Structure 1
Amino acid sequence: MSDAQIGLMTATPIIILFAAALRRMGVLSTTATVSAVSLSVAIAMVLFTTH
């Protein structure tokens, strides 16, 4: 496993947790939270499989 893949495995859950925390604080709407989480997972999957 490369350093880039380890970084993706570390950064993606942090982004998801941050989006959830912002949703709880009322900063993000549900649509924005779902969008942020799904896009970060999709980007991580694409980058993980192409490296």
Structure 2
Amino acid sequence: MTDAQIGLMTATPLIVIFAIMLYRMGVLRLTGTLAAVALSVAIAGALFFTQ
């Protein structure tokens, strides 16, 4: 596993947790939260398997 893959595995859950926290605080709507989570997971997955 490369350093980039480890970084993706570390950063993606942090982005998801941050988006959920923003939703609970009322900063993001549900659609924005779902979009942020879905796109961050999709981008991380694509980058993880192309590294």
Q: Aligning the two structures, in what range does the TM-score lie when normalised by the shorter sequence?
A: over 0.9
What is the deviation of 1:29? 0.1
Partner of 1:19: 19
Residue ranges of structure 2 left out of the alignment (5+ in a row): none
Q: Which amino acid aligns with 2:15?
A: I
Question: With structure 1 as the length reference, what TM-score do the two structures score?
Answer: 1.00
The 3-state SS of whatever aligns with 2:18 is: helix
The 3-state SS of whatever aligns with 2:12 is: helix
Cα deviations by residue, 1:1-21 (Å, 9 ceiling, x for unpaired): 000000000000000000000
Question: With structure 2 as the length reference, what TM-score do the two structures score?
Answer: 1.00
Q: Confirm whether residue 46 of structure 1 aligns to residue 49 of structure 2.
A: no
> For 1:17 and 1:42, how far apart are their aligned partners in 2?
16
Residue ranges of structure 1 left out of the alignment (5+ in a row): none
> For 2:24 and 2:45, how far apart are their aligned partners in 1?
26
Q: Which amino acid aligns with 1:48?
A: F
> For 1:33 and 1:43, how far apart are their aligned partners in 2?
15
Percent identity of equivalent pairs: 67
